[in-house]
Homo-oligomer: A and B are copies of this chain.
Amino acid sequence: MPAAEDDPFQDLLGARTLGQCGTEGVALHAALRHAVVGGKRFRPWLVGLTHDSCAGTRPEAVAAVGAGVELLHTAFVVHDDVIDGDRTRRGRPSVPEGFRVAALGRDVPDERAELYGLAGAVLTGDLALAAAVRAVATAPVPPAVTHRLLDLVDQALAVTAAGELADVRLATHPGHPTLADVLSMEERKTAVYSFALPMQLGAVLADAPDEVVHALGEVGRHLGLAFQLQDDLLGVFGDSASTGKSTVNDLREGKCTALITHARSTAGWLEIEPHWGAVDLDDARAALVRDALERCGSRGFVEDLVTDYVATATDAGAAVGLPAALLSDLAGLCTVPVRGAA
């Protein structure tokens, strides 16, 4: 993956116009930059990887569409932080938090500052979303290709919005979600726009036939789910030193992952329940939970799911003749080793 750079996005962030829109315009532009900087540029990389694997010859369009999917991701992340009320993102203040703190600095009362944070982040996400659609719509390709690209973006937007809303419903609903609920939500909320969409856009830019684009949708959904499940495992069993990710936070926050949903269906849940979502969960109690998650078979179950999803993805790709090197690169994304033996 290339190093993170934000220069390709400069033109897309409306610096010139926002700079002429007073204090708020300047604040919105700074928030957009803050939100775009520091991402791993994973989605643009997927666009390019797939385009190149399909023998595409449109590097300029790849850059434009890659910027579009990254901005789409930015918009989702910023609006997700509004919806979840998250105060941090990638170890830095989230966009709503940035606006909230700025208002507090102007002696705005707490509740009003919260509202200013919400407004600033809704609007920042809106600007990122509009820039994303524009970037895809104006990529230098023939009109028929533009329409194929935009249809894919539209579909991904609809699926992602429905998945995001399903996530809120599962979290707010009385009663516990089933494993099927959780997997379906994860697929729609993240896998489609983060994996299926960039790969399909890359293939369309390479003028790949419909059946290849369709197969890449399957590949992306399964890979995205595998990646998400692997991420859930890393959030509990990972090596913090190499992932930079706490292995206590998910448990302390009571994050409702597939791992937890499976455990809830086993006798081991009686051991786990007192600790899951405990705000004072410490390392020693987290270790007890990890041990219980292994003994009740939930860790193994989710590891097997990852393996199955990767295999399904690889088979779907091979069936339409996708290059073995591409499928191997993609599968590699989902096999980050976790700590200790299963």
A177 in the interface (beta carbon within 8 A): no
In the bound complex, residues from chain B placing their C-beta under 8 Å from that of A115 are: 83, 168, 172
A18 in the interface (beta carbon within 8 A): yes
Q: Decide: B158 and A75 in contact? CB cutoff 8 A.
A: no
With contacts A17-B155, A17-B158, A108-B173 taken as known, whether A126 is within 8 angstroms of B127 at the C-beta atoms is: no
Q: How far is the CA of A120 from the CA of B169 in the complex (A)?
A: 10
With contacts A113-B172, A120-B165 taken as known, whether A154 is within 8 angstroms of B17 at the C-beta atoms is: yes
Contact with B along A125-163 (1 / 0, CB 8 A): 111011111100110000000110010011101110111
Chain A contact residues: over half helix, strand or loop, or mixed?
A: helix
Contact with B along A15-39 (1 / 0, CB 8 A): 0011001111101100000000000
A107 in the interface (beta carbon within 8 A): yes
Q: Decide: A134 and B158 in contact? CB cutoff 8 A.
A: no
Contact with B along A45-56 (1 / 0, CB 8 A): 000000000000
A-side interface residues, number (CB < 8 Å): 62
Q: Decide: B83 and A161 in contact? CB cutoff 8 A.
A: no
Question: Which one of B103, B157, B158, B165 contacts A119 once the chains associate, using CB atoms below 8 Å?
Answer: B165
With contacts A112-B172, A134-B133, A173-B106 taken as known, whether A28 is within 8 angstroms of B165 at the C-beta atoms is: yes
Interface residues, chain A, with chain B CB atoms under 8 Å away:
14, 17-18, 21-25, 27-28, 75, 79, 82-83, 103, 106-109, 112-113, 115-116, 118-120, 122-127, 129-134, 137-138, 146-147, 150, 153-155, 157-159, 161-166, 168-169, 172-174, 184, 188
Please provide the 6 A-B residue pairs with the shortest distance between their CB atoms, ordered closest to farther: A137-B137, A21-B162, A112-B172, A24-B165, A25-B162, A17-B158
